[in-house]
Structure 1
Amino acid sequence: MKFENKTVIVTGGGTGIGKTTAQRFFEEGANVVINGRREDVLKETALEIDPSGKKVIAIAGDISLQETSKKLVQAAVEAFGGVDILINNTGKFNPTPFMDHTADDLQSYLDIIVKGTFYPSQAVIPEMRKRGGGAIVNTGSMWAIQAVEATPSSAYSAAMAGRHALTRNLAVELAGDHIRVNAVAPAVVETPIYNTFMTEEQVAEVLPSFNAFHPIGRNGTTKDVAEAILFLASDSASWITGVVMPLDGGITARLR
């Protein structure tokens, strides 16, 4: 198992990409700490992944607060002895015309995505240094690379571009500590995030229409993204840092 005796923190770990990523790390032998705002969802996910309750623990809290990140690291240290890998996976996506964004709306994207990368990374680095290194993988977005007219997402894209910038800056700054920092940049991935602004019926109608948007002919799955995250976090990627990897079925290759 690739991650036996490793400890991983996954933010946004209750559903979607985060849940699948936590599941895959567990299957590969890791201890996992998952975070999100909804304690009931987190606890249900943790027990679904690990019915024994021994190797997956749930810590609820607002990731835009420094205290939450400190709690996550403290829990990982107390339960498993340290932290080896951090997956910054928090996100919010609701296509909105630029002029319709409010100040509170913009702030929420910065809180969830930018602060949700900055604070957890600050919190884990001292523990990674104690272990002689580690890996941070951020869930970025194709929308931070390529604008999509059908889904106006200026606030989301700006925040995700910040996550991409943090990826590259931390990769350079932390290389001497043997801490690698990379990101994945997915296009349309079928996750529950679309249910936050569409009904179930709308999701069933709209999402399939995006299959043809990808040259490869289909939307992404949470497993597609999770497998890429696990690769970047693994020793197989030991010479890779500062990369924002497109996971987009070929979209950006076609548009560049």
Structure 2
Amino acid sequence: MLKFQNKLALITGSGTGIGQAIAKRFVENGASVIILGRRREPLDETAKMLEGIISEKNSGASVRIFSGVDVADEAAMNGMFESLVKDNVTIDFIINNAGVSGPVTCFANASMDDFKSTIAIHLTGTFWGSVQALKVMKPGGKIITISTFFTEERPLEQRPYRFRSPYTASQGAKNRLAELMSWELTDKGIISIATNPGPVHSDRIYKTVYPKAAAEFMRVSGFEDLNPVEVDAANKELLPLLGEDERVIKDGIAKAAEKLANGKDIAKLTETLTNLLNKIQTIAEKVQNNTSHMIANQEFLSQGQVSESVLNLCDDEIAKILNGKVIPGDRVFYPVKPHIGTTTPGVHQPDFAGKAIVFTIDATDKTDAERVEFLAQHVEKNGGKVACFISQSTPADLQEYISSKFHSHVVDIKNPEEVERWLNTAKTNIGEILGIIHITGKLSDGLKLTELSRAAWEELTEKFISTPANVAQRALEQFVPGGSKDPRLYKDAKGAIMIIGPDLPIGRKVTGTQRAQVEVFRGALRPFTTTVNQELSDVLNSKIRIFTIFPGSVTGSEPNNQRIADAFNFLVSDSSASSSEVTFCVDELR
């Protein structure tokens, strides 16, 4: 009898790539599989291949297809699981594999719609697929989540992944979600493990991620006589030509030159575009080569090797041992600075005279409002002016509390255009903006994340991931008007952005589950902050910094708002521009 005979595995994103390799490995070991994805054709081809293996093994297994299923599509996912419930199906394993590369560009230039879409596929897709799968799982069922190695590597370290801010945010949160599910699903007997396979041979990495990263380097600086906007337009035409034969490339460049000429000399533009494509290919190969040289044998994993590791995690005894763990299967020895600290270095108290500090606030409870009060008074006491923009989702009594003390407006801080408009208003009415402080608020007590509705979950990802990102991006545009289109404007620009929260829970009897819940959203903000700061400093050569402050401690002690004020003092000082540490757990005292 084959190892997984009479077992059933559901693999998301399984028409191609790693998902297909995992499905193949399962049926080779006797399991039946459910494969799903957005496109029917690759699923049909995969099913035909899998059925051939089943016939050869004579295992009696089966293949079931659900096409047109995007893991971010609530209705499609619900419909699939309703069909399985109706057919009295029991799933033994769900493999959360589906994913996309997401936008590959500086955060300042990224579309917030694309940012949210990446979060929806990687993080919400994993969450909702896992939660719905509980309807058709019994004790002993296993949730295996495939995430990335470009997030946490060791305690108090982060790996920045320039040009991939929504990807790193969603992957960091996904790692912590896998841990959280192991806590919340213990009573159901369900095991949750994540694995970070590291670089894997795939078309996505060779034809999409590396070339797009190389193209973004070219956009940031401009190329020959092309400005960043022109390089961006050229990149869209040129990238699909990579890997094609010489004649296709030559014809493609000629068509691109005609399309983009806009009064330029066609022959000269053709030469420039040829040089640009060659430069992109050279940089992409260099990035790949540099990554491989951080691996002992300089080899990326194959998709088959990843599938083997996933099946190992599905073994009953191994899964029990590793329940709740994130397995760093990658072998990249990636040199990184810590990026995470505790208390910030002390600096002389800045004089805020003539400067404006803007607060954007998504308060959950009274202590959030009191934190705003403390920090705003700190600014005013030292000569600065304060404007408070309060989220519409903040409870009415807290809106009133803050508005009674400081110049405030209730606004839709989820809306990029509205945030930009109010920041412009603040600059016009109270002066140059020195810094922008965003308060995320806390995670409400008494939640069980795996029992939330889809709408309630999406409110949390909006509150703790998308809204801070939206405020940060509008702040960048405030500090460098037009910088998203012309990154050269960022050179030596100054500005300070601070994201505060979510807090760790307070009390002497804080549970592991409570901490793990908060860590899901902290897990998004850590790599996001690290990645964006690397872009700001190393790519854009600016002195703008984003700090994230996480109040509270693992011992459950009360947060100290003075330490947050001290952190802001450091953020607006010249010293912060050279700091490798950008995330501070200010209440964690060693």
Q: TM-score, normalised by structure 2?
A: 0.40
Identity level (%): 29
Q: Give the structure, 1 or 2, with the largest relative contact order (CA under 8 Å, sep 6 or more).
A: 1
Matched residue SS, 2:9 = strand
Distance 1:79 1:193 in 2: 35
Matched residue SS, 2:194 = strand
Q: Does 1:225 align with 2:306?
A: yes
Structure 2 counterpart of 1:86: 94
Counterpart selection for 2:193 from 182, 198, 211? 182
Structure 1 counterpart of 2:167: 156
1:233 shift after superposition: 1.5
After TM superposition, the structure 1 = structure 2 runs for residues 105-120 of structure 1, keeping only pairs within 5 Å, are 105-120=114-129
Structure 1 counterpart of 2:315: 234
Matched residue SS, 1:29 = coil
Q: Does 1:28 align with 2:29?
A: yes
| 1:90-128 Cα shifts (integer Å, max 9, x gaps) | 111153222121111101111110121011111111221
1:74 shift after superposition: 4.3
Structure 2 counterpart of 1:41: 42
Q: Give the root-mean-square deviation of aligned CA atoms.
A: 2.5
1:189 shift after superposition: 0.8
| 1:73-104 Cα shifts (integer Å, max 9, x gaps) | 34555678311110000111153222121111
Higher mean C-alpha deviation, range 61-70 or range 202-211: 202-211
Distance 1:13 1:233 in 2: 17
Structure 2 counterpart of 1:200: 243
The answer to whether the 8 A contact 2:84-2:136 is kept is no
Q: What is the identity, as a one-letter code, of the residue corresponding to 1:231? A: N
Q: Does 1:57 align with 2:49?
A: no
> Structure 1's 159 and 56: CA in aligned 2 closer, same or farther, altered over 3 A?
same
1:147 shift after superposition: 2.5
Structure 1 counterpart of 2:425: none
Distance 1:78 1:33 in 2: 15
The answer to whether the 8 A contact 1:218-1:249 is kept is no
Distance 2:243 2:78 in 1: 36
Distance 1:123 1:103 in 2: 27
> Structure 1's 80 and 247: CA in aligned 2 closer, same or farther, altered over 3 A?
farther
The answer to whether the 8 A contact 1:220-1:249 is kept is no
Counterpart selection for 2:147 from 140, 144, 156? 140
> Structure 1's 59 and 32: CA in aligned 2 closer, same or farther, altered over 3 A?
same
Q: Does 1:126 align with 2:138?
A: no
1:55 shift after superposition: 1.2
Distance 1:216 1:152 in 2: 27
Distance 1:218 1:80 in 2: 44
1:63 shift after superposition: 1.1
The answer to whether the 8 A contact 1:7-1:76 is kept is no
Matched residue SS, 1:138 = strand
Unaligned runs of 5+ in 1: none
Distance 2:87 2:202 in 1: 30
Q: What is the identity, as a one-letter code, of the residue corresponding to 1:246? A: P
The answer to whether the 8 A contact 1:217-1:249 is kept is no
Distance 1:241 1:230 in 2: 14
Matched residue SS, 1:186 = coil
Q: What is the identity, as a one-letter code, of the residue corresponding to 2:181? A: L
After TM superposition, the structure 1 = structure 2 runs for residues 242-253 of structure 1, keeping only pairs within 5 Å, are 242-251=324-333
Distance 1:47 1:211 in 2: 35
Matched residue SS, 1:247 = coil
1:244 shift after superposition: 0.8
Structure 2 counterpart of 1:72: 80
1:215 shift after superposition: 2.9
> Structure 1's 38 and 207: CA in aligned 2 closer, same or farther, altered over 3 A?
farther
Structure 2 counterpart of 1:5: 6
Matched residue SS, 2:145 = strand
1:232 shift after superposition: 1.1
Q: TM-score, normalised by structure 1?
A: 0.88
> Structure 1's 19 and 48: CA in aligned 2 closer, same or farther, altered over 3 A?
same
Q: What is the identity, as a one-letter code, of the residue corresponding to 2:327? A: M
The answer to whether the 8 A contact 1:7-1:80 is kept is no
- Greater Cα radius of gyration, structure 1 or 2: 2
Distance 1:147 1:74 in 2: 39
Unaligned runs of 5+ in 2: 56-60, 153-157, 212-241, 245-280, 339-590
Higher mean C-alpha deviation, range 190-199 or range 223-232: 190-199
| 1:44-72 Cα shifts (integer Å, max 9, x gaps) | 11111224796122212121122322333
Matched residue SS, 1:3 = coil
Distance 2:192 2:92 in 1: 12
Distance 2:287 2:202 in 1: 10
Question: Across the two proteins, how many residue pairs are aligned to each other?
Answer: 252
1:148 shift after superposition: 4.5
